[in-house]
C-alpha cells in the first residue's frame, strides 16, 4: 500500500513511493513521486536528469541562447562552397578579409599552410612598389628614402634615363646615417659590338662603364641582401640611341640597416634629364 503525504511524519523525508494528487486528462488521479519524476525526466540520461545538471551543461548561463547565437555569428565563414573566408572588422577600420580558395582541391588532396613561429606581417608578402620618381630636368639625384627594415631584395628599373654629363650613373645605398658614397667593390662594363670596356666600382653600383651625355638607357638592377647588412648587385641596361649594353656586378657592406636608395652620378654633379624614370620594388 502506497504511503500518502498525510501519512508522513513532519520530520520524514519524502521518497519516490509517496502518493500525491495529480491532474491527468482532466481527471484527478493519484501518482507517486517517482511516477511524476519519470514523466518530467522522460528518457533523459542520468547525467542530465536534474535541473542542476542541466544548468551545468549550459554553463550556468541564464543567457545561453543569446551567447550561442553571438558565437555562431562570429564563426569562420565558408562562402560559395569554394572559399574559406576570415573577415576582420575593426571598429575604426574598413573590413579586411583573408580568403583561401578551395575550388581546386579535390577529394583525397591535402594542402598545408605552415606559419612560422613568429609574427607575420601580411603586407610584407609579395612584391611592394614605391612611387616612381620622374626627373624634371633639375635633379642631381632621384631618391627613395623610406625603404622598410628587413627587405631582402630590391629591383631598380630605369626607363628613358639620361643625364646632361659624362659621369657614370650609379645607384647608392644608405642607412639612417646617410648614403654610402664609397666602399663599393666589383666592376661595370660597356659592350658595343665586339668592343668591351670595363672598370672597377667605387662610388656606387654603376649601370655601365662610360656614358655619353644625353645617351638614353633602359634596364634593371637587382640588389640582394647577402647576410646582415651586406648587399650584392647585378644589372643589365641597354642604350636606346646606340648599340651599347651596360653590365654591372658588385658588393657593399653597409654600417647599418638599409633604409634608403638613390640614383645619381659619380660625383653627384650631373643633372638628370627631364622625363627620366626610376622605379623601385622591394621584397621581404
pLDDT digits (tens, 9 = 90+) for 116-146: 777 766 666 667 888 899 999 999 999 999 8
Task: Please give the average per-residue pLDDT across 26-35, as a whole number.
Answer: 75
Report residue 79's pLDDT band, with 50, 70 and 90 as the boundaries. Answer: low
Length of the chain: 284
CB 262 within 8 A of CB 171: yes
Which tens digits make up the pLDDT trace of 39-70? 777 777 878 777 788 788 888 888 988 988 88
For the cut 70, the answer to whether the pLDDT of residue 12 exceeds it is no
What domains are defined for the chain? 3-69 (no CATH), 75-105 (no CATH), 127-283 (2.60.120)
What is the overall mean pLDDT for the chain? 83
Task: Please give the average per-residue pLDDT across 242-271, as a whole number.
Answer: 94
CB 252 within 8 A of CB 279: no
The share of the chain scoring above pLDDT 90, in percent, equals 46
Please count the other Cβ atoms lying within 10 Å of the Cβ belonging to residue 216.
Answer: 19
Q: What is the CA radius of gyration of the chain?
A: 39
For the cut 60, the answer to whether the pLDDT of residue 188 exceeds it is yes
Amino acid at each position: 500500500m502506497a504511503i500518502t503525504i498525510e501519512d508522513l511524519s513532519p520530520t520524514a523525508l519524502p521518497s519516490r513511493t509517496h502518493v500525491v494528487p495529480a491532474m491527468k486528462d482532466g481527471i484527478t488521479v493519484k501518482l507517486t513521486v517517482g511516477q511524476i519524476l519519470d514523466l518530467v525526466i522522460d528518457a533523459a540520461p542520468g547525467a542530465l536528469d536534474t535541473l542542476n545538471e542541466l544548468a551545468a551543461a549550459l554553463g550556468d548561463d541564464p543567457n545561453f541562447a543569446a551567447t550561442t547565437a553571438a558565437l555562431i555569428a562570429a564563426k569562420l565563414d565558408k562562402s560559395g562552397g569554394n572559399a574559406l573566408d576570415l573577415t576582420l572588422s575593426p571598429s575604426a577600420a574598413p573590413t579586411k578579409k583573408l580568403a583561401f580558395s578551395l575550388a581546386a582541391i579535390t577529394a583525397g588532396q591535402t594542402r598545408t599552410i605552415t606559419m612560422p613561429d613568429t609574427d607575420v606581417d601580411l603586407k610584407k608578402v609579395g612584391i611592394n612598389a614605391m612611387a616612381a620618381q620622374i626627373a624634371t630636368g633639375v635633379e642631381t639625384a632621384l631618391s627613395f628614402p623610406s625603404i622598410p627594415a628587413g627587405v631582402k631584395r630590391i629591383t631598380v628599373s630605369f626607363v628613358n634615363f639620361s643625364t646632361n654629363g659624362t659621369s657614370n650613373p650609379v645607384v647608392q645605398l644608405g642607412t639612417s646615417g646617410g648614403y654610402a658614397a664609397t666602399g663599393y667593390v666589383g666592376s661595370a662594363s660597356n659592350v658595343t659590338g665586339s668592343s668591351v670596356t670595363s672598370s672597377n666600382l667605387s662610388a656606387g653600383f654603376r649601370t655601365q662603364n662610360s656614358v655619353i651625355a644625353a645617351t638614353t638607357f633602359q634596364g634593371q638592377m637587382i640588389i640582394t641582401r647577402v647576410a646582415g647588412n651586406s648587399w650584392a648587385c647585378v644589372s643589365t641596361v641597354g642604350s636606346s640611341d646606340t648599340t651599347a649594353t651596360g653590365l654591372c656586378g658588385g658588393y657593399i657592406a653597409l654600417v647599418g640597416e638599409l633604409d634608403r636608395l638613390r640614383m645619381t652620378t659619380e660625383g653627384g654633379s650631373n643633372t638628370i634629364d627631364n622625363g627620366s624614370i626610376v622605379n623601385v620594388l622591394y621584397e621581404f
